[in-house]
Amino acid sequence: MPTIQAILSSTALPDSPTARLDIELLLAHALGKSRSYLHTWADKVVSDEQLEQFLAAIKRRQDGEPVAYILGQQGFWSLDLEVASHTLIPRPDTELLVETALQLIPATPADVLDLGTGTGAIALALASERPAWQITGVDRVPEAVALAARNGSRLQLANAQFIQSNWFAALSGQRYQLIVSNPPYIAADDQHLGQGDVRFEPSSALVAGQDGLDDIRLIVEQAPNYLKAQGWLLLEHGYDQAASVCQLLSERGFNQVESRRDLGGHQRISIGRFDHE
């Protein structure tokens, strides 16, 4: 039976830009250990059953499946989240939504809405940082709602709740100090849809019409009906959509409209405040 070091030395993922990390994560998962264990105990022998599990995971990765789906989990903010193929994989750039939300309104009691919550990543990150906030995450996909609720329960974040709703459809009469969303924003003919991890993610969570802005248009149009006075709307969007999203916000009557840059320097989110008639 091979040692950990022998497996690490002999395994290759030529098509992955993060090959070494992927291999270590998948081997650690098969062993039920941390990545640091691999280096501390490199001479440990791997059982046939563990090796079989690892090789099956490597095959899935070689076929292009995202590591997060193979492991069934992904880190976001300070949280470890369960993920599944019916939700997007949380990405570091989306943490900009969380950072901005925390900056905009104080830590005093507030009602917050996360539209298209998926794994519950944004809602749960906010809930973990702001115990006084009551956060509602909605998703039109029942499996996503159940997944987000499981994440919230496991993380013991009782100030976040999750309900099924197609955007605002199930929220009649509700108003919030803050609405955040990472909606679908990729154009239907975008070539990136056939590349990398995105191939395995649900297209309904990625694609929004011919220009990628259909869902953002709907959210911007309807959000004022669900915002309290001087409430904020925060939207993640594509790297080249900031000008269009800011125009939509301004035309709908939002004030203090601006965009903010992600880790890669792209204008990744746009925000606006609605003062109400």
What are the sequence ranges of the domains in the chain? 4-63, 76-274
Phi and psi angles of residue 94, each rounded to the nearest 5 degrees, phi first: -70, -15
CB 117 within 8 A of CB 164: no
192 pLDDT above the threshold of 60? no
Going by pLDDT thresholds of 50, 70 and 90, the confidence category of residue 194 is very low
CB 23 within 8 A of CB 11: yes
Task: Tell me the C-alpha distance between 176 and 196, whole Å.
Answer: 37
- The whole-model pTM stands at 0.84
pLDDT by residue (tens digit) across 204-251? 544 445 556 888 889 999 999 999 999 999 999 988 889 999 999 999
Give the span between the Cα atoms of 146 and 142, in whole angstroms: 6
Distance (Å, whole) CA 86 – CA 19: 25
Q: How many C-beta neighbours within 10 Å does residue 59 have?
A: 11
pLDDT digits (tens, 9 = 90+) for 12-64: 888 788 888 899 889 898 998 888 898 888 888 899 899 899 889 988 888 88
Q: Which residues contact residue 127 at a Cβ distance below 8 angstroms, ignoring those fewer than 6 apart? A: 133, 135, 152, 157, 159, 160
- What are the φ and ψ backbone dihedral angles of 189, each rounded to 5 degrees? -100, 15
The pair of structure tokens assigned to 173 is: 């009469």
* Band (184; pLDDT cuts 50, 70, 90): low
CA separation for the pair 58, 173 (Å, rounded): 49
Residue 215, pLDDT score = 87
Q: Write down the architecture of domain 76-274 according to CATH.
A: 3-Layer(aba) Sandwich (3.40)
For the chain, give the mean pLDDT: 87
Per the listing, tokens 């998962």 go with 29
